[in-house]
Structure 1
Amino acid sequence: MTFAFNVMLLKYVILNTDISSASGIGVLLSIIVITFIITFTSFSFLALISPVILKTFLIVVTILNSAAIHFMGNYQVVLDRTMIGNILNTQKSESIELISKDLVFTILILGLGVSCIVLIFKISRIDRRVIIRNMFIAFTSSVIFLYANASSWLWIDKHASVLGGKILPWSYIINTARHFSSINKTTNGQKPLANGHFLDNNKTVVVLVIGETARSANFSLYGYSKLTNPKLEKESNLLILKNTKSCTTYTTGSLKCILSPNEASVNEESLPTYLTRHGVDVQWRTNNWGEPPIKVSKYINANELSSDCEGKGCKLDEVLLTNLIDAIRSSEKQKVFVILHTKGSHGPSYYSRYTQDFNQFTPVCRDEEISKCSPEELINAYDNTLLYADHFLSTLIGELKSLSDASTAMIYISDHGESLGEYGLYLHGTPYAFAPDYQKDIPFLLWASDAFLAYKQINISDISQAPEHSQFNIFHTVMGAFGLSAPIYDRERDILQNAPSENE
């Protein structure tokens, strides 16, 4: 278990130390000893309880380890708590996309094959005194060695977050427990934010589109060489916010930030709940998952919209636009807030995130083992998803323009970025401290109708951008758009307040 199932752990140590030096060898030996003593001690405790329990546990973790090795080797996955959250919250349809021939082969040979060997061993009797003695000897010897090799502790402490996500099977066991201990599916107990009041009763509609896995590096709006935003580039009244970073590299964490006013309030009342409490008609439409506990006027899953959807995109994000304008028009409230949580560019099956009409960049990667695709094929498939997102947003803007009796605005921001093979990394979810900018730099767009800009007495071209932006800008920009005044409102984070009034 220490060596065969921790190849990726040991490989990481070798690649990040000078293994030819005494200090590098000391670090490697320390990691081996730590892995061994944790594993040996834990297995010994199980043996003290029952050899049958130990045997069952070994079989289960052997199979799980084989699957973990496959993803760690092919996608450079680190099984920390956030990654476990991603795995456990992944929809069935997305999980199926990750099944490949290599995964099945690895589980059959390394998982079930080794499990069969464990299964055939017969345990005739168990001497608990011997087990306790061996545990004491192993633990004492390991502590003495690690103390004598204390010079390696600094390196281990520096890389602890990555090491903890690579040691098998304890990475996914411990972090699964940590994940479930942090889950709160209701808004009960959430600290409410301070009450506010509306400064006007103007009919206002704001649509927040939460993108998935879109990175700004591949948006032509941000200077990318390929035309991935042909329709949005033709839109007037479009503000392109620069230098925007996600607060995490995974969906659930980033959604908390998008819906929170600041870093200190990510576990308090979220934006949809706050607005609902203030009488806003809040409608959440989702083709994704991972939102924090919320209270809204209406929560609609994509499956509930599919029966009324028409067109080629009904199995994709376009389903979220089904009867959207009718739903807005039928609202009796003066303030309407709609959140569209898209599936966007979620990998690894990028080719399945757009209709054939948007298969413009070719050849494309059609293998779930994306590390096997050429860089050109992989990037082409990903870029096609952005073409489709461009079409989705442009269609939405066109529909909002039809609401002539209201001030309308659309905000688009991605939850996080994506790695497409740079530095040997794929997908997302890399611990933030080690994640490349490709997983952090995200697009942030705002479109507003002429009526909205006239009522606010601002001009898009006059808005002075901040040096950098974050997902926390969303909360305050939405509040400002609705004219909601409250102690939590931060004018400096409202991007629309950085433009001089036409009266100034």
Structure 2
Amino acid sequence: MIKISDTALIKRMTERKLILLSTFITSVFYNIAFFTFIAENVSIWTWGGFLIFLSASTIVFLFNLWLFSFLMMFGLPIFKLVGVLITLINAIAIHYMTNFNVILDRSMMGNIFNTRFSEASELITLKLFLYLLLLGVLPSYILCKVKAKKTGRINVFATTFAISAFSVMFLYLNSSSWLWIDKYAKILGGKILPWSYMINSVRYYSAISVSIEDQEKLSDGEFSDNQKMIFILIIGETARAKNFSLYGYNRITNPLLESKRNVLALNNAKSCTTYTTGSLACILSANEAIGNTEVLPTYLTRHGANVLWRTNNWGEPPIKVSSYVDATELANSCTNGKCESDEILLSNLSNAIHSSEKNKILIVLHTKGSHGPSYYSRYPEGFETFTPVCKYEDISKCTQQELVNAYDNTIIYTDYFISKTIEVLESIPDTQSMMMYISDHGESLGEHGLYLHGTPYTIAPDVQKNIPFIVWMSDKFIQKRNIDTSTFIQSQTYDQFNVFHSVLGAFEFKSEAYDSTKDILK
């Protein structure tokens, strides 16, 4: 039996050769998604296309050469340690990049870092373990067995410098390919391994550190009266407008809302991002200066409103509210058997409203909604209307129709959840109340080979950006505001920044922060 450590290749290995071999393997075998994208968008069999492909390949090789040369400066043990870590992460990354068309840009890294283990576990499949074993564990084992002869730091530097100089000269002479590379720089930057997740992780946390520092207070304001007003804001998850029958979908996915009075489905609403944390910031902010000013729940809490935040999800920006409760806490007192899905957020909600000592009440319900890929687990068994459904976390095992069936069932359950929320408000008679539902972003269900969400906004398909925006108002609210839902004139477009100003408008809150042009009822 031949041992790895006894092979001729290993015996002749030097640190310089190890750097070059690691660079070659990483650049070629772990950047399949990168090269596939180029091949799909360039005619590489033409001279111009071939030069673009060659230039892009040179850039990948150069970046990885710098990385591994830098690591070797700290010695072989550090080189191996970091090399093994990179190899394992690369194996995981390439699985999702090739099977889900994931682009590891800054927003996607934020999406990854803000995913709970309970939902991340849904993406752990047998195929992932195979990728991890063949492209992660096995190469890592070989790397650990290597006993490279010392080359010397000066020789390593000289080799790296010489190759870099030649590569830069080639790129300069082939500058005609830069225009294409620059055009797709954001996408390509999210596909280069390991640089995509390394650089974009740093970019994400840098943005976060800036956004939470010294949030500026909005201008002071006041409620115009002390009459009781209840507003429930439901933040949906991964719901796309295309699959709501309220918006013309050919399946009845909103049977309850379609039969309710005083319901408005606002058309042409778009999310500001394709990932949860970014969209939540938009929903709760007054304008595009996200992260620099206090958000809606904090603002109303500061002005004396009773703000209750109930969540079965995550990702909200820093907030200060009267009460913050997550689903696990609510589950401890759940007795009605509806404790595993979003309906847990309605547990004892009526009591919380009635016991409020304040007349201005804002309730935010942040649901788990239609988050994938385990759509089948987002609704109770009784809501499995469309069958057969995809019941695999590895959605490649399912037909697209099975995937759509499971997703549509989540929309039916969302319809039920919204209707039950409205019933809570209807049970409080002769009171001004309003419910608003808006999703954080949409979802891809296999269109154009894309799945899930988080695609960079500039290239994301409409199904990841077009979202449902639904409003219900009590009779007393309609009467006081003199609103006729049958003749309600909608705006041409809506976005998530409408929420902040519409909530203030509903509370008749007077403030310079309020923009009536963004109030959906004005």
TM over 0.5: yes
Identify the match of residue 304 of structure 2 among 279, 283, 300: 279
Structure 1 residue 186, shift from structure 2 partner = 8.9
Distance in structure 1 (CA, Å) of the matches to 2:397 and 2:179? 37
SS of match in other structure, 1:348: coil
Alpha-carbon spacing, 1:311–1:186, altered in 2? closer, same or farther (3 Å): farther
SS of match in other structure, 2:393: coil
Whether 2:428 is the aligned partner of 1:394: answer no
Aligned residues: 497
Unaligned runs of 5+ in 1: 498-504
C-alpha contact (below 8 Å) 1:186/1:293 kept by paired residues: no
- Aligned pairs for 1:438-477 (under 5 A) are 438-477=463-502
Tell me which residue corresponds to 2:402. 377
C-alpha contact (below 8 Å) 1:187/1:269 kept by paired residues: no
Tell me which residue corresponds to 1:39. 64
Distance in structure 2 (CA, Å) of the matches to 1:146 and 1:411? 54
SS of match in other structure, 2:472: strand
Tell me which residue corresponds to 2:144. 119
Alpha-carbon spacing, 1:326–1:314, altered in 2? closer, same or farther (3 Å): same
Alpha-carbon spacing, 1:138–1:188, altered in 2? closer, same or farther (3 Å): closer
Q: Structure 1 residues 459-468 or 251-260, which shifts more?
A: 459-468
- 1:217-263 CA-to-partner distances (Å, cap 9, x unmatched) read 00000000000001111110001100001010000110011011222
Tell me which residue corresponds to 1:350. 375
Tell me which residue corresponds to 1:90. 115
Identify the match of residue 154 of structure 2 among 122, 125, 129: 129
Distance in structure 2 (CA, Å) of the matches to 1:155 and 1:189? 40
SS of match in other structure, 1:445: strand
Identify the match of residue 101 of structure 2 among 69, 76, 79: 76
Distance in structure 2 (CA, Å) of the matches to 1:217 and 1:31? 37
CA RMSD of aligned residues (A): 1.2
Distance in structure 2 (CA, Å) of the matches to 1:438 and 1:182? 27
C-alpha contact (below 8 Å) 1:203/1:405 kept by paired residues: no
Structure 1 residue 385, shift from structure 2 partner = 0.3
Tell me which residue corresponds to 2:8. none
Whether 2:86 is the aligned partner of 1:54: answer no
Structure 1 residue 461, shift from structure 2 partner = 2.1
Distance in structure 2 (CA, Å) of the matches to 1:372 and 1:34? 36
- Aligned pairs for 1:2-21 (under 5 A) are 2-21=27-46
C-alpha contact (below 8 Å) 2:431/2:474 kept by paired residues: no
Distance in structure 1 (CA, Å) of the matches to 2:187 and 2:212? 32
Distance in structure 2 (CA, Å) of the matches to 1:157 and 1:473? 34
C-alpha contact (below 8 Å) 2:214/2:292 kept by paired residues: no
Query: For residue 299 of structure 1, what is the amino acid of its counterpart?
Result: Y
Whether 2:516 is the aligned partner of 1:487: answer no
Structure 1 residue 126, shift from structure 2 partner = 3.4
C-alpha contact (below 8 Å) 1:213/1:417 kept by paired residues: yes
- Aligned pairs for 1:417-428 (under 5 A) are 417-428=442-453
Distance in structure 2 (CA, Å) of the matches to 1:491 and 1:465? 14
Distance in structure 2 (CA, Å) of the matches to 1:449 and 1:310? 29
Identify the match of residue 178 of structure 2 among 138, 143, 153: 153
Distance in structure 1 (CA, Å) of the matches to 2:356 and 2:424? 16
Identify the match of residue 109 of structure 1 among 134, 139, 145: 134
Distance in structure 2 (CA, Å) of the matches to 1:349 and 1:63? 25
C-alpha contact (below 8 Å) 1:214/1:414 kept by paired residues: yes
- Aligned pairs for 1:163-312 (under 5 A) are 163-184=188-209, 189-312=214-337
Tell me which residue corresponds to 1:500. none
Query: For residue 420 of structure 2, what is the amino acid of its counterpart?
Result: T
Tell me which residue corresponds to 2:462. 437
Alpha-carbon spacing, 1:206–1:171, altered in 2? closer, same or farther (3 Å): same
SS of match in other structure, 1:2: helix
Tell me which residue corresponds to 1:28. 53
Structure 1 residue 18, shift from structure 2 partner = 1.3
TM-score normalised to structure 2 length: 0.94
Unaligned runs of 5+ in 2: 1-25
Structure 1 residue 406, shift from structure 2 partner = 2.4
Structure 1 residue 325, shift from structure 2 partner = 1.0
SS of match in other structure, 1:308: coil
- 1:4-25 CA-to-partner distances (Å, cap 9, x unmatched) read 0001100101101111211111
SS of match in other structure, 1:313: coil
C-alpha contact (below 8 Å) 2:31/2:193 kept by paired residues: yes
Distance in structure 2 (CA, Å) of the matches to 1:43 and 1:187? 35
Tell me which residue corresponds to 2:348. 323
| Sequence identity percentage | 52
Distance in structure 2 (CA, Å) of the matches to 1:462 and 1:268? 36
Distance in structure 2 (CA, Å) of the matches to 1:187 and 1:127? 45
Structure 1 residue 149, shift from structure 2 partner = 0.6
Distance in structure 1 (CA, Å) of the matches to 2:441 and 2:54? 37
Structure 1 residue 267, shift from structure 2 partner = 3.3
Structure 1 residue 118, shift from structure 2 partner = 0.7
Tell me which residue corresponds to 2:3. none
Distance in structure 1 (CA, Å) of the matches to 2:366 and 2:157? 54
Tell me which residue corresponds to 2:12. none
